[in-house]
Amino acid sequence: MSQSILDIILAILGGIKPNTPTIEPARTSAKYPVTVLLDAGHGLTRLGSGDWNYQRDEWYGVLEDLAVQSIALGTHRNLIECKKVLLTRPLPGSTDGESPGVSGNPRWKEAAVYWLRSVLDGHPQAHGVTEVASSGTDRDKDINCRPRYANLEGADYLISLHVNAQEVKRNKPLDARGVTVYYKYGCQKSKDLAAKLYDVLKDHPFHGDLDPQKRGCRDGQEFTRKKGIMRDCACPVVIVEFLFYTNKDDAAILADESNLIWAGQRIAAGLKLHLDTEG
């Protein structure tokens, strides 16, 4: 019997829909009574032509759309002391993440908008989260749905995970390196969290100083003005840019998944340091 037929039979018998996403329940006795939304950036997206493509280009064997999922994995594993941890994309290795998505690829590789359509299927506010965008493209819907989901769930923090890229310009070397954490303009909690995250990410036990150019924490005023995560999200937001995949030396670090998992673990540690000081 095929898996799809079995899913349908189980759905009829159990009163559930096939491939219903598994949503992590809230922990009633959590040390940190907060809801955190982990947002792994980008992912496979349907183009206007109907073809599917990743939102970022691959450099030196590193594809941001997938690399950030390893960072998310490391973070998620280490936030069990929080009341609730939500995801904009399911994790690799999970039942949800490895199940086929609308592109035919595992769901963990797809952009957030496709996962959240499944999560919010039947919800009265689903359309406003996943379908409303000025251009109507799936890419714009993907950008918009992430902060709107945070608002819908009443998240206390949104942590958006990325690896950075330098703009390619003629006769300019791709020498930008390091770690940058952006905070939401005018939000002190966001600024404080960004400082904690940068402090725990800038030094690696084997690779040493990961931010030789001292990029540090930066005001995300530009992001706050434009459409997207910072402007549209009600809660404190940080955007973590872990190294530059357009730089050969940084990309060599990013190509080792253990370094991505390490970054995720450090992000979880930085969030807990921040929550401890918040009291």
**Distance in angstroms (rounded) separating the CA atoms of residues 148 and 229:** 8
Burial of 36 per CB tally in 10 Å (0-12, 13-18, 19+)? buried
Residue 8 lies in a domain: no
- Determine, yes or no, domain membership for 11: no
> How far is residue 33's CA from residue 237's CA, in Å, rounded to a whole number?
17
Q: Residue 277, Cβ neighbours under 10 Å: how many?
A: 10
Query: What is the rounded CA–CA span in Å between residue 56 and residue 214?
Result: 25
Write the DSSP assignment of 242-262 as a string of letters.
Answer: EEETTSHHHHHHHTSHHHHHH
Whole-number Å distance between alpha carbons of 95 and 93: 7
The answer as to whether 167 is a domain residue is: yes
Asked if residue 187 is part of any domain, the answer here is yes
Q: Please give the span between the terminal C-alpha atoms of the chain, in angstroms, as a whole number.
A: 54
**What does the angle CA 39 – CA 225 – CA 84 come to, to the nearest 5 degrees?**
25
Contacts of 163 (CB under 8 A, 6+ apart): 62, 64, 67, 68, 241, 242, 243, 244, 245, 254
3-state secondary structure of 277: helix
Task: Please state, in angstroms and rounded to a whole number, the distance separating the CA atoms of residues 144 and 12.
Answer: 34
Instruction: Flag whether 6 is in a domain.
Output: no
The answer to whether position 172 is within a domain reads yes
- Count of other CB atoms within 10 angstroms of residue 130: 26
Residue 158's nearest CA partner among 170, 169, 167, 147 is 147
Burial (0-12, 13-18, 19+ Cβ within 10 Å), 254: buried
As a whole number of angstroms, the distance between CA 159 and CA 69 comes to: 13
Tell me if 82 sits within 8 A of 34, measured CB to CB.
yes
**Do residues 152 and 130 lie in contact, with contact meaning Cβ atoms separated by under 8 Å?**
no
Each residue's pLDDT expressed in tens, for the chain with a length of 279 residues: 444 444 444 344 444 344 556 666 667 668 999 999 999 999 999 998 999 999 999 999 999 999 999 999 999 999 999 999 999 999 999 999 999 999 999 999 999 999 999 999 999 999 999 998 878 899 999 999 999 999 999 999 999 999 999 999 998 999 999 999 999 999 999 999 999 999 999 999 999 999 999 999 999 987 777 667 898 999 999 999 999 999 999 999 999 999 999 999 999 999 999 999 986
The CATH number covering residue 252 comes to: 3.40.630.40
Number of domains comprising the chain: 1
d(CA 245, CA 59): 6
Whether residue 148 is contained in a domain is answered as: yes
Condensed to tens digits (0 to 9), the pLDDT of residues 42-64 reads 999 999 899 999 999 999 999 99
Could you tell me which residues come within 8 angstroms of residue 214 by beta carbon, excluding any fewer than 6 positions away?
Answer: 178
Domain membership of residue 86 as a residue range? 24-278
Angstrom distance (rounded) from CA 238 to CA 157: 8
Any domain includes 228: yes
